[in-house]
A and B are shown apart, each in its own frame.
Chain A
């Protein structure tokens, strides 16, 4: 089992959700986060007002999947979240030691 964490541009959330649904992934956790990577530090002009790029709003999608699905899920997320411009985000894959469905007590891949 692996946990996949994808940090994406907020407006790409619906696309990522739809693409994951298309390959049969249903459950996920979504949260709004703020962060910065290479975009930080410089200033930009928005309609004539200057402002400093600091923390940018992002959406984090988290899901745990069976090992066999990992590469497919990662590719799907990348395809759906990519715009080609700076700030498209990142995908992290982490090992998961155990999963338990609280209601039934199922464990391992059965629980996800």
Chain B
């Protein structure tokens, strides 16, 4: 399936990797060195960290605990909000990839991308990668800063579990962002989607409210979002010292999500391109 997705037509087997790397490079140079980005990656995560901390704090004074399939964790509030913030900000950055296409469309460069025979999914992937990577190193810096400044109860017993939780959460969020970016292209409302998704996702994913405290339907809806599952896996493996077998169900779920989102993004981008060419909405001129 993946081979057919990236083949993009019999004779259009262009350098997928080159396209992805070119997109990432462009994305980094075009969007990174701005005050806006610096604000976003430096100031906002710190402010948000405080917000999440105080939103989660009241729950530590109640009987509501962090529990998943019988695994109960004592909530380390700083560790919880930090891991939550790490994953959530990454999620936000992938969300923004969709919004970037709005800018590309208005600038006329989106049309130029589609004028080329480059693989569409590779363009999308490069853009989403670029959007996420440019935040990542500063996020890591933030995490390190917090780790040294505050006493976080890290308890790791299985590094494979931690590694896989991190990797699969990253990929699942990336492919989720890919799908949203494809949908943004289709709907031409990337910015709006990015804004509309932020708060609901923060709630149902367990970032600011423990999942156990949510109404059951809402909590179940949260499991459709990779951020929710990724957060549980990360918290269990990094803060709870859980082993691979304890989180394997979560990791398999993330793997399934990755596959589903890649296929979804593939079809969505095709539909989006065809629709734009039929309606004549590829550009604003």
A binds B: no
Residues of A that sit less than 8 Å from B by CB: none
